[in-house]
Structure 1
Amino acid sequence: MSARDRDPPMLARARVLETPVTVCTFVQAQDALARLVARGGAAYVSCANAYSTTMATDQPAFAAVLAEADMVTADGMAVVWALRAFGHPDAERVHNDDLFLACCARFPDWRHYLVGGRDGQSDQVAAAMRARFPGIRIVGGSATPVRPVPAQQQEQILEQIRQARPDIVWVGMGTPAQDHWMHEVAAQVGLPMVGVGSLFDLLAGRTRAAPEWVKRSGLQWAFRLMQEPRRLAGRYLVYNSRFVWGLARQWWRRDRKDAHG
């Protein structure tokens, strides 16, 4: 089922490399997600950064998953700058971690379910969120220490979600695992899902959040690299440079097309 079949929010999209990224402000993203929750039914929200958009150029299956998402938010400043350069000056960064926190504050009646992280981590996240947002309704959580998720565990997770009856499911498995999983189970879950990457590690205190000025400057990747150099060095060195090169080629093709009418 394509995003068009699922009646996505009325927001424009623009291609960054091969990925159709949703063009919106941070508040518009919240509003669009609220419409998905109010409507109910299967939906999922992915995020776009230099890593994921470059990976999508190599992996057609992953590119298809992003193309079918109801929204693909501009998670990284590099993607935001690309959108602005391609004629969308109002585009803003919509980091799905921040989207989660904003929605918790703005929509206190939502029932939240958490999928991802290590064993016991959802309890830590729930405790942290209840301290931050008294009255928040976190109705359950399922760990996914092994990825891809084994079939037996997947059935258990789906049953736990059904029993908890949430309004929205937040999926923290990292890219591309969370995107493939959301795409695979969307019809079975039958609810809006949002990929939030390493958010649960952050809320559980395993990693530190980047300062706002770092996020705005587009250097959050460097902040994360300093915290996890062995895991992230190869990713950022390879994919960031390839993203810049791919964007330059996209710009060049765009200029040639404009020059030839």
Structure 2
Amino acid sequence: MREQSAQSVRTAATWLSRRLMTLLRVSPQRSNKGRSENQVVRVMEAEGVVQESMSRVGDVPITQTSPEKLVASLCDRSHAGSRHLHFTNAYSVISARHDPALAQVFQRGSCYPDGLPLIWALRGVDPNAGWSKAARVRGPDLFPHVLAASQDLRGVSHYLLGGTEDVLEQLQKAIAVNFPGAVVAGAASPPFRPVHDVDWQGHLQDIRASGATHVWVGLGTPKQDFVAELLSDADPYRLYLAVGAAFDFVAGTTKIAPKWMQDNGLEWLFRLATEPRRLWRRYLIGNVKFIWIVAAQRCGMRTRQRNSK
């Protein structure tokens, strides 16, 4: 009986995800030939990483790569993009539309698609770019993958900025058990205050003194995005990566959505079910806004195409 109920939930969830794809009017994946006008191609400096391409959803430029290539470039410190990295989703696109300052942060940084609905949207607004699930770079996955890949690498160390003192304690224990060769050079739990009410200079001094090469910022969007840029502007010698709830997931203090939900773009539904009071507005209202932003962008593209003929 339980198996039948679980199968019914999976079927309903899959149907819901397909309806979302239909609403976003996702086109079938095509080849990489004939890239669109809104795509910027950058030649990477890292050996073995030929190029990354960039497309836009709303006001957010999204860089196309693979998790494997990004992990490699972060570990060998050959990342040629911005010194502050962001793993964006539908909520990021909505937040950037309502806050021009946040949009500018994303535009000056390197942004990667964290959410599967964002991949669907990218395939809709830039159908010739070859976007696929393989280009999805989840912050909560990248964080442990980099920790694993950096084990025993000389000159690579990590600083953890964010979370509560308890979460940081659990996180460092989890890293010591699961990634014993990864070097955690320092950690800090900033106060829960607006960005401009925190003494970031003190945190910056601690980060510099630690000698860490990678600073993982887990403060939640949009605060972590502003902080990552603020600190990287003052300290361009290391990477600042805004990874959202990755600390809680690796520490084991927050449950992760089942893989079948992640693979069907329904991680938001799992999080809504676990924290309805905090997240209902973000997802139920936010998803509609996201679809509207993508639909408006597609309509604008079609209008420009017609006018150019």
TM-score, with normalisation over the residues of structure 2?
Answer: 0.76
Q: Which residue of 1 aligns with 2:271?
A: 224
User: Which residue identity does 1:16 align to in structure 2?
Assistant: V
The answer as to 2:241 corresponding to 1:202 is no
1:127 corresponds to: 173
Check the 8 A contact 2:191/2:198 in 1, yes or no: no
Give the greater-gyration-radius structure (CA): 2
Equivalent of 1:66 in 81, 106, 109: 106
Instruction: Answer yes or no: is 1:79 the counterpart of 2:113.
Output: no
1:55 corresponding residue in structure 2 = 95
Partner of 1:4: none
Q: Quick check: 102-111 or 168-177, which moved more?
A: 102-111
* 1:161 and 1:189 in contact (8 A); partners too: no
1:121, distance to aligned residue in structure 2 (A): 2.5
Q: Which amino acid aligns with 1:59?
A: D
Secondary structure at the counterpart of residue 46 of structure 1 = strand
TM-score (normalizing by structure 1): 0.89
User: Letter of the aligned partner of 1:204 in structure 2?
Assistant: A
Q: Is the 8 A contact 1:48 1:72 kept in 2?
A: yes
Using the alignment, how far apart are the partners of 1:243 and 1:32 within structure 2?
31
User: For structure 1, which segment, 240-249 or 84-93, has the greater mean C-alpha deviation from structure 2 after superposition?
Assistant: 84-93
The separation in 2 between residues aligned to 1:17 and 1:75, in whole angstroms, is 15
Q: Deviations over 1:84-138 (max 9, x none)?
A: 2322224421111111111112222220100000124222111101111122111
Query: Which of 243, 257, 261 is residue 304 of structure 2 equivalent to?
Result: 257
Cα displacement (A) at 1:150:
6.2
Distance in 1 of aligned mates of 2:278 and 2:197: 27
Equivalenced residues, count: 253
Q: Does the CA-based 8 Å contact 1:25-1:90 persist in structure 2? A: no
Unaligned runs of 5+ in 2: 1-43
C-alpha spacing 1:19/1:39, structure 2 compared with 1 (3 Å): closer
Whether 1:148 and 2:194 are equivalent positions in the alignment is yes
- Structure 1's 243 and 90: CA in aligned 2 closer, same or farther, altered over 3 A? closer
CA distance in 1, matches of 2:96, 2:45: 21
How large is the RMSD of aligned CA atoms in angstroms? 2.2
Query: In the alignment, which residue of structure 2 is the partner of 1:3?
Result: none
User: 149, 155, 160: which one pairs with 1:114?
Assistant: 160
Gapped regions of structure 1 (runs ≥ 5): 1-6
In structure 2, C-alpha distance between the alignment counterparts of 1:114 and 1:242, rounded to whole Å: 33
SS for the counterpart of 2:94 is helix
**C-alpha deviation, 1:249, in angstroms:** 1.3
SS in 1 for 2:52: coil
Displacement of 1:81 after TM fit?
A: 1.0
Match of 1:45 in 2: 85
Preserved contact between residue 171 and residue 196 of structure 1 (Cα < 8 Å): yes
Letter matched to residue 173 of structure 1: L
Report the secondary structure of 2:186's partner residue: strand
